[in-house]
A and B are shown apart, each in its own frame.
Chain A
Amino acid sequence: MLDVPRVEIRFHGRGGQGAVTAAKVLASAAVDEGKYALAFPEYGAERRGAPVLAFTRIDEKPILEREPILEPDIVVVFDPSLEPEIYMKGLKPNGMLVINTKKTVDQIVKLLEEHGLQKPRCIARIDATDIALKHLRAPIVNTSMLAALVRAAKVVRLETLEENIRKVFAERPHIAEANIKAMEEAYNSTEVVCL
């Protein structure tokens, strides 16, 4: 558990990768654990492939702030091809980057430096695309990325997330189970480095 009363998380993905659902499932898990949560997407003209933003706020107390998250504690990046300037924007100096990439942590740091961006305090890297392709046969990385997020920041328990995935896919249990397998592999293979 992060040692702050409120966690603000921003998800960056592309249409079809499930960023909006991820934000929702995370909020749902937080509510199940007795916390308050708010999850909302930034809506535009939705289409597959377009950059998508979604937000989750988690707090011990009721949440009044409905504004978009400009200074997140954590950014979760679903797609390595997104511009670092966009996803690193506003990330708190002691914040965390959770990123789906084939790059090593050193290479990520180098990439950020090349773009003249401030380094986050911690980086969690995972090759979620490979895991998703293996278990789901589709590059839908949201469940793997949630597992990586939970491994790195422990905002909710992995089991609560898994219960919620089972709820989402209540009518298609085999899909739920494939996602849970992906989550478990993602959880175990996430590499967290604090700089």
Chain B
Amino acid sequence: MAVVEEKPREEQLPTRKKKIAATGSDAAAYAVRDADVDVVAVYPITPQAPIAENIAQMIADGELDAELIHVESEHSAMSAAVAAAATGARSFTATSSQGLELMHEILYIASSLRQPVVMALATRALSAPINIWNDYADAMGMRDTSWIMIFSENVQEVYDNLVQAFRIAEHPDVLLPVVVTLDGYILSHTTEALEPLDREEVLSFAPKRPRGYRPVLDPDHPVTIGVLGAPNWYQEVKVQQALAMRESRRVIEETGKEFGKRYGREYGFIEPYYMDDAEVAIVTLGATSSLVKAAVNRLREQGVKAGMVKIRVFRPFPAEELAKVLENVNALGVLDRAVSFGGALEGPLAMEVLSTLAVRGITKPFISFIHGLGGRDIFVKDVVEMYQKLLEAAKSGKSVTRTLFYGVKSRKGHII
């Protein structure tokens, strides 16, 4: 009887990439390298600086053939990134906090001129008092600038999201800038396992398009970018932009699915966690999602039907997807890491989630939580406490009509 030789097991499995240890800043720089970016215009600021340093090192070592523009401020960094994109180059920048604020004017210009700039934002609180640690105040400040905004939960997502960002931004049906966030320190300076792709793979997933596929600055074929828009046409330009943002949903979805098909990590607009039978749920963003997931695990062990939803794409806001997963919960909370001072509710994400539900006629006992401002540590036990508050709300059927600040040092207790 002939012996059929069995293939060694390894050969039958799809080849796994070797995992390396990397910080979020390393991951961002690797993505820039693997996407073969042409122009990097960046001004250093904590905690984004290691991204700029890594890229500068790669260019010096010959690993990346890009033009590194040494600008004198973030305003110039964004201006240069927009101008580079307008010549048809693949253009990248990165910043944090006050740097983003200084860019603010040009953020609108990047998106209004429909220039596919990609930016990494190491999120950081805004002054004053001066603070270099993580919260989402800077990111939330750019929510109306018509940038596509993708939040990352871990170091792997920083890499994967940036790779996808180039493909989304440069898609002819989108042509909008994309920002990928990484929580300052919590991701930018944390070492984790990362499975990067090969450069050939990244370039086949997010290929550089021929220069003439969109109108670009070219002396042989002059175009005018940045015209005056008088009242007779300004509104139409803005509506075009709003429609492009809506249209980008399709491209973002396709891109996330295709990424999953190729590399086994599929990305959607949201990531529901234990939502199938959840009775109480918290919606949050970024690396904070990990903590909320850990709290859900802890509560599930105790038999509490807790769930959570991570918003991955904040702009365009995934209203349809979110409404669907939240339909059946008994009570709902939103954990924000930024304050919209004087708002109907003070959590920016809370307001998005509430309007998503309200316009679809869904009402739930609701609590808006704010914690973790300026790098204040959120512990899993704090999140568990929030879930307990939600269980009470589910029982009483009542919402809390004002935002609750958690973990506050106050004579009135730690919830204000």
Contact = CB atoms under 8 A, between A and B. Distances in A.
B377 interface: yes
A31 B193 contact: yes
Given A66-B291, A67-B377, A28 B189 contact: no
Contacts, number: 65
Highest count of chain B CB atoms <10 Å: which of A28, A31, A41 = A31
Contact of A65 (B23, B47, B193, B294): B294
Contacts of B287: 66
B312 interface: no
A65 B293 CA distance: 9
B133 A31 contact: no
Interface in A40-80: 40-41, 43, 63-68, 70
A43 B189 contact: yes
A24 interface: yes
Interface string A65-103: 111101000000000000000000000000000000000
A43 B133 contact: yes
B191 A27 contact: yes
Given A31-B20, A40-B185, A43-B185, A67 B291 contact: yes
B192 interface: yes
Contacts of A23: 191
B374 to A, nearest CB: 12
Given A39-B190, A43-B185, A67-B380, A24 B21 contact: yes
B294 A28 contact: no
Nearest to A35: B193
A53 to B, nearest CB: 12
A32 B19 CA distance: 7
Interface in A17-39: 23-24, 27-28, 30-32, 34, 36-39
The CB with the most chain B CB atoms within 10 A, among A38, A63, A64, is that of A64
27 contacts: A24-B23, A27-B21, A28-B21, A31-B19, A31-B192, A32-B21, A36-B193, A37-B191, A37-B192, A38-B190, A38-B192, A40-B186, A40-B189, A40-B191, A41-B185, A43-B47, A43-B133, A64-B290, A64-B291, A64-B294, A65-B290, A65-B294, A66-B186, A66-B290, A66-B291, A67-B380, A68-B377
The 4 closest A-B CB pairs, nearest first, are A28-B21, A39-B191, A40-B190, A64-B294
Interface of A: 23-24, 27-28, 30-32, 34, 36-41, 43, 63-68, 70
Interface of B: 19-21, 23, 47, 132-133, 185-186, 189-193, 287, 290-291, 293-294, 297, 377-380
